[in-house]
């Protein structure tokens, strides 16, 4: 452990001790102490008082008849007029009935207590002896309690349910209008830009917010105005929340965090009240950052609901708009919001003066993925032979959260295998598991099903190698993983940001290879090509309607981007093109798929012997890497794979090369991925 880590741990321990000393005692501890003290006092009082003997009515009358009662008092019970309590002392006697006299010459007395039913004659007889004294009970306390106790209960009820609840900000039953924003103090927030990786452009974009919080006069001197709000846009898991915490940590400012769904409750007006209370708290702790996660929950466009909109949500949005426009930049309050649905936000929320700036937090590229892996690798123990750059190249499209989960899964896998450190085999297995699920080696597949799957995946692999514009084949396997019975995976050499027409046509042809191989071997088709057909159809339709790759229809976009549909807004929209054009689009999509199908069929029929070699290799070893398939296709030779450690007892050997790609069978993927590990939207 380095000196910096040791000093950091010491600082954290000292802060924990300091915070613990500052914590006031809990209410229940105080009440427990009071009750314990009262019990101790009562026990001591009982021990200090002389022991009292209880006499039954018969025993008491015997003492009276024997003239042994020295003195006593008769107290009348107001609740039972016929039952009286008698307290006094009687003379102690020996076995022979003689009174015992002590060393001081005085008779020994014993305190007694008795409850007896005395008749009027018996009572007069006792009083005539002169040893008994009548006493009326003190009913003053009883009368006071009978009148005061109801009033006291009413006051306690009023105090608990009204005054106390109003004082308990954010905790009482009547405090539903208080903000639920969590305050992360400067002492607790130690996240800085060093803990954020893979989003260098976004860090540069928000770095001036840190400068403003540290030295506002630097900007105000020149008349500059810092943005009031910053909207972070990006896919889930890219680090939007982490980046916001890093801004607060760098600026040494307070950090309020709240979710958009925390504003709206079942009571009308609660959301707007919480918005006002949140900004009121922020003004008391300036400079500060207010982070609203998933702001689309409360910031959706107004007036788009099926019934005219949700009035409560719109009131909350109106309060947010007024508060953001109400405070000026000298307050030292900066609003940061995060969402992955910017298309549904209200335009008034995005205008200059509110969320003036939009920061896009994209998925990391290969260098960003390597930097993210290095940040998270500090908390795990890697083997010296591990090369994180190889893992980064094999995980295109992975978000920061997925990369962190990858390392965590690899650590758990290495621990189950009894390893002392995490190796490349564990990282590769974890990469497949994070994206597609754990290998289902226990799945009971018939020989025919396994044979059909082997030829299906062999068709994909053969077409991938023979076609010119596809990504290099990574590996092909018939081991079920997730919902797929097998998969053919290809990885690009570099991150892909745009796709060409020839590349997409070859990708569609590769997708058709599985169905073609099934037809050749079984003279029948199965439902295993459902995912391939869906990918090919979506890709071909995008080529025609969005990317202008149809000579017949030209460079015209038909329809909008329908990836996100907002029902209240998009329900009444028209297609923007006629029914004749729609038929032409369908015809062009079908023509593209049929052309690619014929191209793939000619290749596979011509190289039928290579198809059989790949399929037989899959049946024997279950997994073949790209180099082995390439050797079969180009040279007609096959080198058996070397065994590698498996998490489960192996049924075959699996090659350990860079990581897997998108499965094509049978589970339909999210969107056509053009052979990349992260399907690209089309």
Give the integer Cα–Cα distance in Å for 172 and 494: 56
C-alpha distance across the termini of the chain, in Å:
48
For residue 69, give the 3-state DSSP assignment.
Answer: strand
| From 205, 457, 588, 622, active-site residue | 457
Nearest to 518 by CA among 601, 447, 622, 625: 601
Give the integer Cα–Cα distance in Å for 642 and 653: 7
User: What residues form DSSP beta bridges with 90?
Assistant: 69, 110
Tokens of 375: 């940040």
Nearest to 78 by CA among 158, 139, 14: 139
Nearest to 184 by CA among 262, 257, 121: 257
Nearest to 362 by CA among 227, 196, 231, 237: 237
Q: At what angle do helices 400-416 and 424-436 cross, to 10 degrees?
A: 120
Neighbour count for residue 28 (Cβ, 10 Å): 8
φ, ψ at 299 (rounded to 5°): -105, 20
Tell how strand 182-184 and strand 254-259 pair up.
Answer: antiparallel
Peptide bond into 58 cis (omega under 30): no
Nearest to 388 by CA among 429, 434, 423, 432: 423
Asked if 595 and 509 touch (Cβ cutoff 8 Å), the reply is no
CA-CA-CA-CA torsion for 529, 533, 539, 542, nearest 10 degrees?
Answer: -160
669: left (phi over 0), alpha (psi -120 to 50) or beta: beta
The question of whether 457 is a catalytic residue gets the answer: yes
Task: Report angle CA 164, 168, 169 to the nearest 5 degrees.
Answer: 145
Tokens of 533: 């057909």
- The catalytic residues are 457
């Amino acid at each position: 452990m380095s000196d910096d880590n040791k000093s950091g741990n010491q600082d954290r321990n000292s802060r924990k001790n300091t915070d613990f000393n500052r914590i006031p005692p809990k209410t229940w501890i105080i009440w427990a102490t009071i009750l314990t003290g009262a019990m101790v006092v009562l026990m001591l009082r009982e021990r200090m008082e002389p022991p009292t003997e209880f006499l039954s009515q018969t025993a008491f009358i015997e003492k009276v008849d024997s003239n042994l009662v020295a003195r006593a008092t008769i107290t009348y019970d107001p609740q039972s007029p016929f039952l009286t309590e008698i307290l006094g002392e009687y003379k102690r006697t020996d076995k022979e009935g003689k009174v015992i006299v002590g060393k001081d010459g005085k008779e020994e007395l014993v305190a007694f207590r008795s409850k007896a039913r005395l008749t009027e004659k018996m009572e007069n007889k006792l009083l005539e002896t002169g040893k008994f004294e009548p006493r009326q009970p003190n009913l003053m306390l009883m009368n006071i309690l009978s009148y005061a106790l109801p009033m006291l209960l009413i006051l306690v009820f009023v105090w608990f349910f009204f005054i106390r609840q109003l004082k308990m900000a954010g905790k009482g039953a009547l405090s539903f209008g208080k903000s639920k924003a969590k305050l992360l103090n400067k002492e607790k927030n130690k996240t800085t830009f060093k803990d954020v990786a893979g989003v260098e452009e976004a860090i540069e974009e928000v770095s001036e917010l840190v400068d403003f919080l540290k030295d506002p006069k630097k900007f105000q001197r020149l008349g500059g105005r810092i943005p009031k709000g910053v909207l972070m846009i990006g896919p889930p898991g890219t680090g939007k929340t982490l980046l916001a915490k890093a801004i607060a940590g760098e600026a040494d400012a307070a950090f309020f965090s709240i979710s958009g769904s925390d504003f709206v409750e079942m009571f009308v007006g609660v959301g707007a009240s919480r918005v006002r209370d949140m900004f009121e708290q922020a003004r008391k702790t300036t400079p500060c950052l207010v982070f609203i996660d998933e702001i689309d929950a409360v910031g959706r466009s107004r007036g788009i609901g099926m019934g005219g909109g949700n009035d409560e949500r719109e009131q909350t949005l109106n309060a947010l708009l007024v508060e953001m426009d109400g405070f000026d930049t000298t307050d030292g309050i900066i609003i940061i919001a995060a969402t992955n649905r910017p298309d549904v936000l209200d335009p008034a929320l995005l205008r200059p003066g509110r969320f003036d700036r939009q920061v896009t937090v994209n998925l990391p590229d290969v260098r960003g993925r390597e930097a993210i892996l290095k940040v998270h690798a500090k908390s795990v123990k890697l083997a010296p032979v591990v090369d994180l750059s190889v893992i980064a190249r094999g995980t295109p499209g992975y978000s920061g959260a997925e990369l962190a989960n990858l390392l965590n899964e690899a650590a758990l896998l290495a621990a189950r295998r009894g390893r002392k450190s995490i190796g490349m085999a564990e990282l590769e297995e974890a990469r497949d598991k994070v994206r597609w699920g754990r290998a289902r080696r226990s799945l009971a597949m018939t020989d025919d099903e396994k044979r059909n799957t082997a030829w299906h995946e062999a068709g994909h692999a053969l077409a991938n190698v023979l076609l010119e514009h596809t990504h290099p084949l990574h590996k092909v396997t018939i081991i079920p993983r997730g919902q797929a019975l097998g998969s053919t995976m290809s990885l690009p050499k570099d991150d892909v940001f745009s796709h060409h027409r020839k590349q997409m046509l070859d990708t569609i042809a590769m997708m058709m290879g599985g169905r073609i191989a099934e037809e050749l071997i079984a003279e029948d088709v199965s439902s295993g090509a459902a995912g391939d057909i869906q990918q090919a159809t979506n890709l071909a339709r995008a080529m025609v309607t969005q990317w202008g790759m149809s000579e017949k229809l030209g460079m015209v976009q038909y329809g909008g981007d329908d990836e996100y549909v907002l029902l209240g807004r998009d329900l009444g929209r028209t297609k923007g093109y006629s029914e004749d054009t729609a038929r032409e689009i369908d015809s062009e999509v079908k023509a593209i798929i049929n052309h690619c199908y014929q191209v793939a069929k000619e290749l596979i029929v011509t190289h039928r012997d290579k198809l059989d070699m790949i399929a037989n290799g899959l049946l024997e070893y279950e997994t073949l890497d790209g180099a082995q398939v390439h050797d079969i296709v180009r040279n007609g030779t096959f080198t058996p794979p070397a065994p590698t450690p498996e998490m489960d007892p192996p049924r075959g050997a699996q090659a350990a090369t860079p990581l897997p790609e998108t499965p094509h069978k049978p589970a339909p993927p999210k969107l056509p991925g053009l052979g990349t590990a992260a399907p690209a939207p089309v």
